[in-house]
Amino acid sequence: MTRLKLATVWLGGCSGCHMSFLDLDEWLIDLAAQVDLVFSPFADIKEYPEGVDVVLVEGAIANQEHLDIIHLIRQRSKTLISFGDCAVTGNVTALRNPLGGAEPTLQLAYIQQADLNQQIPHAPGIIPPLLDRVVPVHYIVPVDIYLPGCPPSAYRIRAALEPLLKGENPHLEGRDLIKFG
């Protein structure tokens, strides 16, 4: 049996979706027997590989780094799952959109609300350039499966992954599997 190449990615979000993934508990042992985890915040892998079968993408597209990597992810992955409400809708990450762009966001965070050392960091590598609007993954690249929830439950994550392991498409229907929040 060929092992599935699985990746998970954390973009503009809180990592709650990845914490929920860990809530798969003992099923993670079964999953590990069927997949190779080829990229994830759980593993120290620096470059997104080619030939990924399934990728769970947590978080919205909020900065230039996210924009660059999501194109690479889509190009190198067969099945892209928008993983959690931030990836599906923008959710909490997109709450900065009403501020009117990247510059007002930086001003608010680093100048207006700062108690000490009021300055926007400009050194290279400190802050990836923010996009003027935070957008969900499907605004940038095609998404194959939407897995809503903030975060999606372990039950919901398993319901999406289990059929894929068998070469089948998941059928996410009903409140338990498609409810937001």
Q: What is the DSSP letter of 80?
A: E
Give the tokens for residue 124.
């290279």
Q: Is the pTM of this model over 0.75?
A: yes
Superfamily of domain 4-99+130-178: NADH:ubiquinone oxidoreductase-like, 20kDa subunit (3.40.50.700)
How far apart, in whole angstroms, are the C-alpha atoms of residue 130 and residue 36? 33
pLDDT at position 44 is: 86
pLDDT at position 125 is: 81
How far apart, in whole angstroms, are the C-alpha atoms of residue 130 and residue 117? 21
Task: Provide the 3-class DSSP secondary structure of residue 115.
Answer: coil
pLDDT at position 75 is: 98
Task: Provide the 3-class DSSP secondary structure of residue 139.
Answer: helix
Low-confidence ranges of the chain (pLDDT < 50): none
pLDDT at position 1 is: 60
